[in-house]
Chain A
């Protein structure tokens, strides 16, 4: 699918991508899978509630997604570091080898805004706890789905200039310290895509994702190397789409 993208700052190569709810491929099955029902079916009652949530989600998602493409100025094998526009990142030893062959990087951020979050909170307060939980879970799955689309968009754009891309990596995953969110956002315009960062590195709205994607002639998209990481219940260890092994992009 080809998504429309608009420059935010041409010189700095900052773009926002137009993604609407109907571009998403989010399904009830995917949400069920994300909340635990993988390989087993969820009780019918729960599926019905997810359907009800999804039928209202389109109106409640204020989708925004964008990225900045930056040259990687320097790579430091010894301390697994990357220098991007004067900002030094330490993504640690799981991510660094995946990015080190890249010449450039896309720093991205994605959000669905606050409405789903507020709706979920309201449902909890009204005692509709199951629906409140499903709204929260759906919001999480939706934002991941949007991130998949953005990832795909960046891949297609880079292919036009015969560049390949890596997996996406987020601060807070694979031993990359979540506090480097501050470094990542320092490379993006203030309030990029409507996202702000708290002192404790929490993005607001809560249903947001950020990260880095390596770009280069010699990089590759690889299977997740989860056996190198100690986090047993990480999203990428547990989160696989129904029937999916590992996505292999070109």
Chain B
């Protein structure tokens, strides 16, 4: 049983989606995350166990990404494999048998239209067991505030790619904090640094998706 969930974890780390997927080359023709999840559930492996194996797989690939050992494409393949698992686990989430770690509201701030970096962060966070509410791009502070209201206890993530929109990011942080002072906010994106994040009053900064996951896990309620 353990072996089954471990194998799923390996598929997540290596980005092996299903049997027909040619990637990674050395796993061609083998069962992938899709088939292995179906079998594991049939054998009675609990969804929780599958999920925690997946989280380990996602964490490993995220760490490799943070160390520049792999790049965005590998991360995307892992997210795809994770998606394949989630398709089979969805009913357990819906029935309440499995619970997400928490809620993460993410968006690219007002005036900025960049979404690939933000999407990547969202995929990796979701793959690590969080429910992600993606507000999209060009998101005004009021929309973030409404999302915090609707998703009580959530953590907020803000992304920006230009120094000009970082100004809107600072504004978003202060407006959210004015209404919900207890809400934790993490910021990221190319022009950000730890110092700039601190200066704008954010609770966290991460240069990459894995750091975001670490921040979220540390702030689990």
A43-B24, A44-B25 as given contacts; A129 in contact with B162, CB under 8 Å: no
A129-B79, A177-B163, A201-B164 as given contacts; A35 in contact with B71, CB under 8 Å: yes
Stretch at the interface among A5-13, A20-28, A97-105, A130-138: A130-138
Q: How large is the interface on B (under 10, 10 to 19, 20 to 34, 35 or more residues)?
A: 20 to 34
Known: A45-B24, A127-B80; 20 extra A-B contacts, CB below 8 A, are A35-B72, A35-B73, A36-B72, A37-B71, A43-B25, A43-B73, A43-B74, A46-B73, A127-B83, A129-B76, A130-B77, A130-B80, A133-B73, A178-B162, A178-B163, A198-B111, A200-B111, A201-B162, A202-B164, A204-B113
B1: A residues at CB distance < 8 A? none
A45-B23, A124-B119, A201-B164 as given contacts; A133 in contact with B111, CB under 8 Å: no
Question: Quick check: A134 and B162 within 8 Å, CB to CB?
Answer: no
Task: List the 3 shortest-distance A-B pairs measured between CB atoms, nearest first.
Answer: A200-B111, A36-B71, A45-B23
Bound complex: CA A124 to CA B116 (Å): 9
Q: Does A160 contact B (CB under 8 A)?
A: no
Pick 6 A–B contacts, CB within 8 A, sort by A: A35-B73, A36-B72, A43-B25, A45-B23, A45-B24, A202-B111
Question: Quick check: A200 and B162 within 8 Å, CB to CB?
Answer: yes
The residues in B between 39 and 95 inclusive whose CB is less than 8 angstroms from any CB of A are 68, 71-74, 76-77, 79-80, 83
B126 to chain A, nearest CB (A): 13
Q: Does B112 contact A (CB under 8 A)?
A: yes
Closest to A199 in B: B111
